[in-house]
């Protein structure tokens, strides 16, 4: 029951996303009367759930690198604060960005917990937001020009053209809904991934991972938001940014769906990498920005830029700026209240140390540090980063030092109870190797990992050939750490 209470903030945020962002896929179609709202809501709900469950994992990994929320009570408040921020903006009929709200909330948690914000990842996210906005405008500009040249050449009757556009809005709306679920479910449930209360299980030949279960719940919440509150926001998107017709509505949906799919497709990324081409960041992008960028692109392509309602557009841009700031402030204040008034643990304290063992482990990775100058204990990431700053390490080296210096006390006690909880998930060989460590203590995660590999090579992550196998191993190892961690 407590787990469900904590996850309720994710469900609320999913509802807010559905209420706000469904308009970015269907607003233009519904506002032009080409598709009825009820049909749009049904199709959107089905495909957003499929997109979230099947393809939602990619973008969540980027958010995890920005800030890994390590307590479920903290994750509850991070998502609740982001959802509250989006809800208030939605009440003002502004199509704000859920992506920016959750990023702002994660940064607020980082400040409260004394964690470092990875500014390299943050700059990657922000540049993706800007790039996706421009890309949506470019796509809509080119597609609209192509449409204007192609349709007259085909000499299609007005009635037939109307039917084709209506069908196109439905088909592309389904594709856009799938892309919305795949890209934006990370905003709803991404912070819960590393602390998921669910266990993976098999359904025939398929494994339903803990992450997929989280994303399924989030997708259902989005669907409820679509049905209950999205219709009013659709009028803002479809009528108040620029005056559009059914033809331009088709271009808007296609442009936004393409861009969201590009920033959510792990499969496409693998193909590009295999061909030696630059990959596209798997980042939750703002569907609100994309649709506005697409509408502006059409306005420029049609030489009707003056029809764009600049005042409304300006209010939307202000919403994009204020959303992450507001979300960060709300999160910080709410975490303080949750911790000090309700006595809930909102973050797991992470400390660091430089010892001869840590130095030796880093040397095996090719990293040399000055032990005499850095030896000692550091109570949080800020203090540790300040000590390392003057040495001029590059980001990759800093990440390794933080990884191996992190203190994470682990005591393997009552492994028999652990074996009963994970039976059917962990293999018998994996369970046996863990039980051989009964009464053992470790101060760092990498110490436990190395001991397990010595006992049985099945724990060596280098033996895995696919990303899916590596991710399955990581889920098991994370669960193992959380089970035996000493607070």
135: tokens are: 């890309």
Q: How many Å apart are CA 388 and CA 352, to the nearest integer? A: 12
Q: What are phi and psi of 208, to 5 degrees?
A: -95, 100
Same domain as 325, residue 397:
no
Residue 346 in any domain: the answer is: no
Same domain as 417, residue 325:
no
Q: How many Å apart are CA 312 and CA 94, to the nearest integer? A: 9
Residue 309 has pLDDT above 80, yes or no: no
Same domain as 435, residue 325:
no
| 475 and 210 Cβ atoms separated by less than 8 Å | yes
Residue 287 in any domain: the answer is: yes
Q: How many Å apart are CA 345 and CA 324, to the nearest integer? A: 24
Same domain as 130, residue 279:
yes
Tell me what the mean pLDDT of segment 320-347 comes to.
91
Residue 333 in any domain: the answer is: yes
Neighbours of 3 (CB within 10 A): 11
The more confidently predicted of residues 392 and 403 is 403
Instruction: State which residues form the domain around 384.
Output: 351-407
Q: How many Å apart are CA 358 and CA 360, to the nearest integer? A: 5
Same domain as 473, residue 396:
no
Q: How many Å apart are CA 484 and CA 90, to the nearest integer? A: 43
Residue 244 has pLDDT above 70, yes or no: no
Instruction: Provide CB contacts within 8 A for 128, sequence distance 6+.
Output: 263, 281, 283, 285
Tell me what the mean pLDDT of segment 454-464 comes to.
93
Q: What percent of the chain has pLDDT over 90?
A: 42
Same domain as 193, residue 147:
yes
Same domain as 401, residue 415:
no
Q: Poorest-confidence range of 3-12, 67-76, 209-218, 297-306? A: 297-306
The angle that helices 98-113 and 119-154 make with each other, rounded to 10 degrees, is 180
Residue 201 has pLDDT above 50, yes or no: yes
| 78 and 339 Cβ atoms separated by less than 8 Å | no
340, 364, 388 - which closes a domain: 340
Q: Poorest-confidence range of 134-138, 181-185, 299-303? A: 299-303
| 236 and 24 Cβ atoms separated by less than 8 Å | no
Q: What are phi and psi of 394, to 5 degrees?
A: -75, 170
Mapped to the 3 state alphabet, what secondary structure does the chain carry? Answer: CHHHHHHHHHHHHHHHHHHHHHHHHHHHHHHCCCCCHHHHHHHHHHHHHHHHHHHCHHHHHHHHHHCCCCCHHHHHHHHHHHHHHHHHHHHCCCCCCHHHHHHHHHHHHHHHHCCCCCHHHHHHHHHHHHHHHHHHHHHHHHHHHHHHHHHHHHCCCHHHHHHHHHHHHHHHHHHHHHHHHHHHHHHHHHHHHHHCCCCCEEECCEEECHHHHHHHHHHHHHHHHHHHHHHHHHHHHHHHCCCCCHHHHHHHHHHHHHHHHHCCCHHHHHHHHHCCCCCCCCCCCCHHHHHHHHHHHHHHHCCCHHHCCHHHHHHHHHHHHHHHHHHHHHHHHHHHHHHHCCCCCCCCCCEEEECHHHHHHHHHCCCCCCHHHHCEEECCHHHHHHHHHCCCCCHHHHHHHHHHHEECCEECCCHHHHHHHHECCECHHHHHHHHCCCCCEECCHHHHHHHHHHHCHHHCHHHCCCHHHHHHHHHHHHHHHHHHECC
Residue 110 has pLDDT above 50, yes or no: yes
State residue 236's pLDDT score. Answer: 62
321, 340, 359 - which closes a domain: 340
Q: What are phi and psi of 157, to 5 degrees?
A: -65, 160
Q: How many Å apart are CA 334 and CA 340, to the nearest integer? A: 10
Q: How many Å apart are CA 212 and CA 44, to the nearest integer? A: 19
Looking at every residue in the chain, the average pLDDT score rounds to 86
Residue 96 in any domain: the answer is: yes
Same domain as 112, residue 73:
yes
State residue 216's pLDDT score. Answer: 93
Neighbour-count burial of 468, counting CB atoms closer than 10 A to its CB (0-12 exposed, 13-18 middle, 19+ buried): exposed
336: tokens are: 């303080």
407, 423, 441 - which closes a domain: 407
Nearest to 299 by CA among 342, 367, 245: 245
Same domain as 414, residue 378:
no
State residue 242's pLDDT score. Answer: 52
Same domain as 375, residue 286:
no
Banded pLDDT at 295 (limits 50, 70, 90)? confident
pLDDT for 412-457, tens place per residue? 999 999 999 888 889 999 999 999 999 999 999 999 999 999 999 9
Tell me what the mean pLDDT of segment 336-343 comes to.
94
CA 280, chain centre distance (Å): 15
Residue 313 in any domain: the answer is: yes
Residue 268 has pLDDT above 70, yes or no: yes
Residue 362 in any domain: the answer is: yes
Residue 345 in any domain: the answer is: no
State residue 67's pLDDT score. Answer: 84
419: tokens are: 């074996």
Same domain as 392, residue 310:
no
State residue 306's pLDDT score. Answer: 46
Residue 258 in any domain: the answer is: yes
Same domain as 153, residue 30:
yes
Residue 308 has pLDDT above 60, yes or no: no
Number of domains in the chain: 3
Residue 389 has pLDDT above 60, yes or no: yes
């Amino acid at each position: 029951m407590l787990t469900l209470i904590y996850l309720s903030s994710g469900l609320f945020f999913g509802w807010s996303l559905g209420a706000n962002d469904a308009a970015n896929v269907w607003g233009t179609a519904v506002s032009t009367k080409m598709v009825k709202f009820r049909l749009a809501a049904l199709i959107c709900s089905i495909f957003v759930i499929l997109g979230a469950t099947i393809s939602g994992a990619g973008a969540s990994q980027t958010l995890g690198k920005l800030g890994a929320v390590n307590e479920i009570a903290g994750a509850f408040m991070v998502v609740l604060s982001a959802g509250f921020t989006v809800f208030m903006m939605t009440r003002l009929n502004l199509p704000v960005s859920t992506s920016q709200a959750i990023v702002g909330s994660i940064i607020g948690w980082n400040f409260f917990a004394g964690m470092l914000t990875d500014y390299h990842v943050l700059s990657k996210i922000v540049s993706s937001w800007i790039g996706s906005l421009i890309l949506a405008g470019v796509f809509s500009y080119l597609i609209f020009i192509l449409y204007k040249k192609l349709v007259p050449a085909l000499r299609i009757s007005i009635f037939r053209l109307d039917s084709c556009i209506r069908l196109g809005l439905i088909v592309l709306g389904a594709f856009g809904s799938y892309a919305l679920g795949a890209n934006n479910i990370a905003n709803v449930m991404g912070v819960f991934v590393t602390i998921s209360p669910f266990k993976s299980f098999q359904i025939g030949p398929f494994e339903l991972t803990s992450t997929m279960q989280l994303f399924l719940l989030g997708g259902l919440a989005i669907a409820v938001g679509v049905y209950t509150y999205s219709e009013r926001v659709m009028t803002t998107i479809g009528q108040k940014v620029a005056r559009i017709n059914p033809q331009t509505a088709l271009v808007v949906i296609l442009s936004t769906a393409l861009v969201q799919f590009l920033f959510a497709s792990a499969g496409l990324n693998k193909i590009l990498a295999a061909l030696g081409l630059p990959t596209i960041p798997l980042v939750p992008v703002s569907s609100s920005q994309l649709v506005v960028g697409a509408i502006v692109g059409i306005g420029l392509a049609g030489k009707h830029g003056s029809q764009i309602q600049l005042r409304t557009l300006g209010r939307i841009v202000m919403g994009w700026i204020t959303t992450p700031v507001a979300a960060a402030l709300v999160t910080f204040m709410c975490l303080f209240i949750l911790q000090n008034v309700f006595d809930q643990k909102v973050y797991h304290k992470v400390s660091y140390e430089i010892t001869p063992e840590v130095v030796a482990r880093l040397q095996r990775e090719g990293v040399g540090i000055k032990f005499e100058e850095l030896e000692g204990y550091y109570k949080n990431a800020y203090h540790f980063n300040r000590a390392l700053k003057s040495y001029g390490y590059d980001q990759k080296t800093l990440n390794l030092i933080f990884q191996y210096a992190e203190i994470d006390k682990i005591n393997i006690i009552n492994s028999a109870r652990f074996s009963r909880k994970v039976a059917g998930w962990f293999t018998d060989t994996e369970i046996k190797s863990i039980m051989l460590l009964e009464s053992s203590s470790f101060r760092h995660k990498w110490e436990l990992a190395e001991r397990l590999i010595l006992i049985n090579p099945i724990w060596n992550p280098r033996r895995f050939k696919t990303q899916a196998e590596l991710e399955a191993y990581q889920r098991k190892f994370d669960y193992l750490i959380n089970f035996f961690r000493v607070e």
